[in-house]
Amino acid sequence: MRLRSEERAGIVALILLFLWGTLITEPLHVCMEFFWSRAYKLVTLPGIGSHIKTANILSVLLFALAFVGLLILSKTGFYRFIPITVFGITSVSVAVSFFVSYTYSLRNIVSLAIALAVTAFFHLIRNDTFLKWEADVCILSASIFLVTGLFFEPLSRKGEIISKILYVTRHQQTDIGSVFGSFLHIPSFVWGGFIFVLVTLPVIYYSASRDKELI
């Protein structure tokens, strides 16, 4: 089956959404939590993000911008190095945390080691198709992280039954949308959904027509 880049991205996004609440996507959880924490730290350093709502909005914009940049780069041969970049930077951060503050999570270390091993295998066999799919997995994980944090997390707090149904939130630690609760008397998940749609439009646009050949 030969797919256009936008079709591949759509399939990857649906699979990620279905699996986001499981341990299968744990390496991606670790990476997205790391990049989110860096984005949040950057916007709060100058003091412009001292207000929590402002900090969250700016963090969402910076976080989304970083992965839209990777999406644009995926049109070039750099797509081969996107997975190793995402997993590699996160792994370095985990190693630094261990050596500097002696804090570590065995689950994070194991999941990242598995992800790096799989990526290394794809490079060894020089399979560009697998690397393109993996690059899309790494990039679109940011969108799933955002929709979970902005929309599903606040929605899951509306009741125990809803929280059980929305298993997608099970392994995500960051709730982005709840800080907008009751702002202008509008529920937080509505604000979160609105913000997610806005930052996702560039992702949809740049997902199209990235490949010169169908894969």
Look at 19-23, 63-67, 73-77, 167-171 and tell me which has the smallest mean pLDDT.
167-171
pLDDT at 23 over 50: yes
How high is the pLDDT of residue 213?
A: 47
What average pLDDT does this structure show over 116-139? 94
56 belongs to a structural domain? yes
End-to-end CA distance of the chain: 8
How high is the pLDDT of residue 54?
A: 83
**CB atoms < 10 A from the CB of 195, how many?**
21
pLDDT at 77 over 80: yes
213 belongs to a structural domain? no
How high is the pLDDT of residue 133?
A: 94
212 belongs to a structural domain? no
38 belongs to a structural domain? yes
Q: What integer best gives the mean pLDDT of the chain?
A: 87
Q: What is d(CA 211, CA 75) in angstroms, rounded to the nearest whole number? A: 6
Look at 23-27, 99-103, 113-117, 125-129 and tell me which has the smallest mean pLDDT.
99-103
Residue pLDDT, tens place only, 29-49: 999 999 999 999 998 887 665
Domain hosting 80: range is 5-207
Q: How far is CA 11 from the centre of its chain?
A: 16
Q: How many residues does the chain have?
A: 215
215 belongs to a structural domain? no
Look at 78-87, 123-132, 141-150, 168-177 and tell me which has the smallest mean pLDDT.
168-177
- Output the pTM of the full model: 0.89
Closest by alpha carbon to 121, among 84, 89, 86?
84
214 belongs to a structural domain? no
pLDDT at 28 over 60: yes
12 belongs to a structural domain? yes
How high is the pLDDT of residue 192?
A: 87
Structural domains of the chain, count: 1
17 belongs to a structural domain? yes
